[in-house]
Amino acid sequence: MKAIVTVLSRSRARVDIQNHESLGPNGGFSYYVFKKLHESRQFSQLLRLGEEFPEELSLFLREYQDLLWLHDLFLHQFSSASESLHTLALMQNMQSNSVAEEEGEQEYMKKKLKLSDRKNLLYLSKIAAFAVLRCVIVVIPVPLLALPNVKSVWPLQMCGLALMSSMMISDHIHFVFVLMQSGPVLFTGKDPGTQVKVDRIEADLKILKLQEEVMKRSLSIEDTQLVEGELLHPEDLIKLCLESEDQELSLWAFDVFAWTSSSFRKIHRKLMEDCWKKAASQDDWSKFHDSYRAEGWSDQEILQNLKNTILFQSSSRCYGPGSETFEEGFDQVLPLRQENMETSILGDMGSSVETILMQHKDFPVAGKLMLMAIMLGSEHGDMRIEEMPSPME
């Protein structure tokens, strides 16, 4: 195999082989060599061939996302590397085929990524997206580390340098750092395409961080360890929040909605309605109304007391002046008040937050206060109590 790789790397042989790539299955002789190198775990040799056969290796590595991003970086194709890393971070399972050299038989390696690994991949994806802009590459050789493909990657910041990736060249791994010429990474709106990619990466990072916190609060230590590598679909994560008795998780369900997408919110509007029903049930509105009447609260006292309700905080999170969402806002899917609804959906009892609250058992008595909570919340910024901050912040 070493002799074949040597011949394959020669420029004249490269031309001859490219002229006959149609011969043989799955792309010809180069595919055969790539396959054999991958099966024998000679990943350094495999990636080195990408310098002479960039397009051929890119096609081959589409089956192996855990190596494709390294090849993209080797070619300084940072946009493609960012997309590969992003895809890899959100894969449910990573599976690659390899052959144990000493046994000569195929074995299947399933690499289960932990949530921390997924976050690291997203950090790298974000850095790769930044690198599409003007940057300087600084290469620092270090001794080869033990690895079956790339077991893990670590984001690292040191002296303004951000870890870009690890590349396998000969008997060394070269850590590739990116130093932005303009200092801190700030987008000025000159590259909207890159900004959209970065915003999506950041949104997925927030969802992963939130999943970590949700699992800490809602699962036992044993269950948390059991599923720490499992990537939950946003719908399942929201349902996990709704199943919990923890009031804060009722708010976090809206955070998940905020960082998914407009299409997700539209498709799962019924689930969003369930979130509002859950939020309304977190406070005793009948008792709240009795205190309001008995104590004769002033406007300031009403505001102060309503701030602590989950309805107020949910409204502030979704409709407040400081609310943030990926793509369109919540009001495009579920208006706050009935008067803001389009005529076409007036017959839908779940077509606004107000109509959802009207179905609450305490609405006949405390409906005025409940509506005040969502309206005041929408006029104020996110006013969650300090001792229970959102994991997104």
pLDDT at 374: 96
Q: Give CA–CA dist 25/36, Å, rounded.
A: 14
SS3 250: helix
Of the pLDDT bands very low, low, confident and very high (cuts 50, 70, 90), residue 27 is low
Q: Which pTM was predicted?
A: 0.74
The mean per-residue pLDDT over the stretch 258-265 comes to 96
SS3 333: coil
Q: Give CA–CA dist 365/203, Å, rounded.
A: 40
- Asked whether residue 131 carries a pLDDT value surpassing 90, the answer given is no
Contacts of 319 (CB under 8 A, 6+ apart): 329, 330, 331, 336, 374, 377, 378
pLDDT at 204: 96
At 329, phi and psi to the nearest 5?
Answer: -80, 175
Say which residue, 66 or 282, is predicted with more confidence: 282
pLDDT at 348: 52
Q: Give CA–CA dist 185/181, Å, rounded.
A: 9
First to last CA, the chain: 52
SS3 172: strand
- Asked whether residue 139 carries a pLDDT value surpassing 50, the answer given is no
The full set of domain ranges for the chain reads 2-180, 272-379
Range scoring the smallest mean pLDDT among 289-303, 305-319, 361-375 = 289-303
Question: Residue for token digits 């894969």?
Answer: 91
Residues 258, 326 contacting (CB under 8 angstroms): yes
Q: pLDDT per residue over 231-256, tens digit each?
A: 899 999 999 999 998 999 999 999 99
pLDDT at 223: 59
- Asked whether residue 190 carries a pLDDT value surpassing 90, the answer given is no
Q: pLDDT per residue over 297-337, tens digit each?
A: 898 999 999 999 999 999 999 999 989 999 999 999 999 98
DSSP secondary structure of 257-302: HHTS-HHHHHHTHHHHHHHHHHHHTTS-HHHHHHHHHHHT--HHHH
pLDDT at 225: 54
Counting residues of the chain whose pLDDT is more than 70, the rounded percentage is 64
Residue from 235, 242, 388, 381 nearest 316 by CA: 381
Q: Give CA–CA dist 16/8, Å, rounded.
A: 10
Residues 173, 166 contacting (CB under 8 angstroms): yes
Q: Give CA–CA dist 297/309, Å, rounded.
A: 16
Residue from 345, 346, 336 nearest 372 by CA: 336
pLDDT at 22: 46
Range scoring the smallest mean pLDDT among 14-23, 198-207, 333-342 = 14-23
Contacts of 372 (CB under 8 A, 6+ apart): 302, 306
